[in-house]
Amino acid sequence: LAKTTQPISMDSYEGQEVNITCSHNNIATNDYITWYQQFPSQGPRFIIQGYKTKVTNEVASLFIPADRKSSTLSLPRVSLSDTAVYYCLVGPDYGNNRLAFGKGNQVVVIP
């Protein structure tokens, strides 16, 4: 999987929109961008995936610029229950099938 870089942590107030960035300068042509969310004491869960431009689902939006070297996960009007670690992954790597998560971005929602 291509290497990704994310901020370590960020705080946000309840009700605000939260934008979480991820850099992936060496993304390959066949790579998709996938985000996972991990609540305390639980395994990560898939939240959104995209290839280019914008993808939206019931949980989040994913913005990918034309050069695809970065992406932004947007969480609308966060609540306390959105406090979690968010991981950005780029792949898949069909060659060796590794799935490495990195440290992720700890998002804390403050009342």
Does 43 interact with other proteins (rule: CB under 8 A)?
yes
The site that binds other proteins (CB under 8 A) totals a number of residues, namely 27
Distance of closest approach, residue 24 Cβ to other proteins, in angstroms: 14
Cβ-Cβ contacts under 8 Å for 28 (sequence gap 6 or more): 2
Does 32 interact with other proteins (rule: CB under 8 A)?
yes
The residue within the footprint of other proteins, chosen from 19, 26, 46, 79 (CB under 8 A), is 46
Does 29 interact with other proteins (rule: CB under 8 A)?
no
Which is closer to other proteins, CB of 16 or CB of 57? 57
Tokens of 104: 């992720």
Q: How many CA atoms lie within 13 A of 43 on its CB side?
A: 2
Tokens of 17: 């929109």
Does 42 interact with other proteins (rule: CB under 8 A)?
yes
